Amino acid sequence: MGEEAWQLSNPMLGIGAIVATFILFYVVGYISNRKSSSVTDLYVAGSSIGPLTNGLAMASTYMSLATFLGITALILQLQVPFIMLWIQLILSIPLITIIYGTSLRRMGAFSPTHFIRERYGLSASIIAALFMILVSLMYALGQMIGIALAFETVLGIPYMTGLIVGGLVIVGYVTLGGMAGASNNAAIQMVIIALMFIVPLGAIMKAMGGSGWFFPPLLYSDMVPAMLEAMPNFFDYQFSPKWYVSLIGLTIGSLGLPHLAMRIYTASSLKSARTAMVWFAFIIGLVFSATYAMGFVGVYATETQGVAISAADADKLTLILNLVYNPEWVTALVIAGAISAGLSTLSGNLLAIGALLSQDIVSVLKPDLKVRTRVKLGYAAIFTGGIISILLAINPPAFLVVSILWAFGLAGVTNAPLIIVGVWWKEANKFGAIAASVIGGALYIVVSPFVFPSIVLTGHSVTDGMGLSGAMLAIPVSFILLIVVSYLTNRMPKLSAMLTAKEDHALIERIHGWKDVHPGRYNSTIGAAITVVFFTVIAVWAVMPWNM
C-alpha cells in the first residue's frame, strides 16, 4: 500500500454526518438555553448541574480534537514517551477540585480571572486576562488545524481551502451562539465522542485480527509480540528522568486553564462537584486509554500491515485507519465526532476569549459601558478570536498538539501560581502576582521556539515546541517571584500601605468555609520557604544541559 491522498470517495456521507451532528447540538443547545434567564445561568448554568452530567461535561470540555487526531500523530512520532506524557493530563479536574475548585465555587467565582480580580486587584487581573486570551488563542489554533484536516479529508480539498471553509463555518456557528452555556450539550457530545472513537477502534482491531476488539482500550496485548518483532524499540522510554519531570509542568498548566475550572462552578453543590470529579476520572481514563490503543494500532498498521502514512498526514492517522479498515460511513461518523470534539473545545476557547475581553478587561476599565455594547463587544471578540486562529493555522506547527500543549504551559506560568498560592497563602499580594505573571510569562515566550528559534533550552524541537522545557523553567520562576516579591513588599511600609491585606485575609478564610479570621491559618512562612527552595532547584536543573 503506497502513499495516497486520504479522503472520502463520497463526500456527501461526511457532509451528511457533520450536518446531522450540528443540528443535534443546535437543538439541544436551544432547548438548554431557553431555560437560561440570567447571567449566572449563562456562565455556570445556575449552579444546578448533576454529578454525572457535569462529569461528562468536564470530560467533553477537556477532550478536544487532539484526542481524535493529535495524540495518535505524536504516538506515531514519539511512540511510548508521548503516551506517558498524556497519562498525567487526567490529573487536571481532580487536582483543580481538591486544590482550589471547591474554594472558588464557595466564593461564587464565574472564572479564575474573577478570583484573581478579587484577590489581587484590577491590574493583576487584566494582565492575567490578556495572557488567558493568548492561551485560548493557541488552544483554538490546535482545534482549527484539526478542523481543516477533517474538512480536507471529507471534501478532498487542499488544506488551505479546508481551513477557510471549515474555519468560517465553525466560527460563524459559535459566534451565532449555537453552543452557549449548554452543559447538557457538552454531556451529549462526550457520549458521541466516546462512541465515535471507541466503537470504530474495535472494528479496526477486529479487521487487523486482534482478539480483544470488544474492549479496545486495554485488550490489545495479543498484538504486542508482532509489534516488538517489527519495531523492537516501540516501548522504549527514550528520554532521561528530567524529561519525565518536565511533564509535571503540563499538570500545573492544566490547573490554569480558564474553561476547565468553570465546570466545577456549574455543580449543584460541593458534594456534587466532588462526585463529578469521580465520573470525570472514569470517563476520561476510558477515552484516554482508547487513544493510546489507537496510537498503538496506528504504529502497528504502519509497521506490520504496510499502511504508509507520510509525515504531512500524521495528524490524520485516526481517519486514515478508519478509511483503510472500516466502511466509509464509519469514517464519516468518526469525522463528525472529531469535528464535534473540536467544536466543543473551540466554542469553549472562543467564548472564553469573548468573556475575558468584555467581562474581565473592558467592563473593568469602563464600568459604565452599556450592557448592550458589552454584549456586542463579546460577540466581536469571539468572531475576531476565531479569525485570528484561522490566520495562525495558515502556517501551522508540524503537529496540532504542539500549540495546545504550549498553551497548557503558558497557563501554568501565568495563571496557575496566582490561583494556587492566592488560595493557600495570605501573604501573596498584587505585586508578587504581577511580577510572577509578567516576568514568568515573558520568560516562557522567549525560550519557546516560536519567537526566537535560537533561544531554546533543549534543541529537541517537539520538547521545546510543546513548552515542556520552557514550563520547567518558567513555572518555578513564577512561583518563586510570587512568593518572594509578596513577602518583601509586605514588609515595605510604603508598598504594603497600598494593599488590602485585611480584606484579602477575610476572602481566603471565607472561600475555605470559615466564618472567622484566624491569623494562624493559611499563613505558613515555612511552607512558602520550602516551596521557594524546591522550585529554585527545579529552575536551576531546567537551565542545565538536557543532552537530548
**Residues at the contact surface with another protein, assessed by CB under 8 A:** 80, 83-84, 87-88, 90-91, 94-95, 97-99, 102, 218, 221-222, 224, 235, 237, 239-241, 243-245, 247-248, 251, 270-271, 274-275, 277-278, 280-282, 285-286, 288-289, 292, 424, 512-516, 518, 520-521
Q: What's the rounded Cα separation, in Å, for the pair 340 and 177?
A: 15
Q: At what angle do helices 468-490 and 400-414 cross, to 10 degrees?
A: 10
Q: Which is nearer to another protein, 95 or 309 (CB)?
A: 95
Q: Which is nearer to another protein, 44 or 252 (CB)?
A: 252
Closer residue to another protein (CB): 30 or 514: 514
Q: Which residues of 49-66 are buried (b: 16+ CB within 10 A; e: fewer)?
A: bebebbbbbbbbbbbbbb
Radius of gyration of the chain (CA): 23
Taking the least distance from each CB to another protein, the nearer of 43 and 424 is: 424
Tell me the C-alpha to C-alpha distance, in Å, between residue 476 and each of 164, 339, 464, 540. Answer: 39, 36, 17, 9
**In the complex, minimum distance from the CB of residue 462 to another protein, in angstroms, rounded to a whole number:** 17
Residue placing its CB nearer to another protein in the complex, 270 or 438? 270
Nearest of 478, 473, 91, 547 to residue 246 by alpha carbon:
473
Q: How far is the CB of 345 from another protein (least distance, A)?
A: 21
Q: Which three cell numbers stand for residue 72?
A: 495518535
Q: Which is nearer to another protein, 17 or 287 (CB)?
A: 287
Interaxial angle between packed helices 71-78 and 80-87, expressed in degrees from 0 to 180 and rounded to the nearest 10: 140
**Cβ proximity to another protein, 77 vs 275, nearer residue:** 275
Q: Contact 342/100 with Cβ under 8 angstroms?
A: no
Q: CB 373 → another protein: shortest distance, Å?
A: 41
Distance in Å, CB of 441 to another protein, minimum: 24
Smallest gap from Cβ 183 to another protein, in A, equals: 20
Query: At its nearest, how many Å lie between another protein and the CB of residue 322?
Result: 23
From CA 101, how far away is CA 149, in angstroms rounded?
Answer: 35
Q: What are phi and psi of 523, to 5 degrees?
A: -140, 25
Distance in angstroms (rounded) separating the CA atoms of residues 317 and 338: 12
Q: Rounded to the nearest whole angstrom, what is the least distance from the CB of residue 285 to another protein in the complex?
A: 3
β-bridge mates for residue 267, sequence order: 49
CA 463 centroid distance within chain: 18
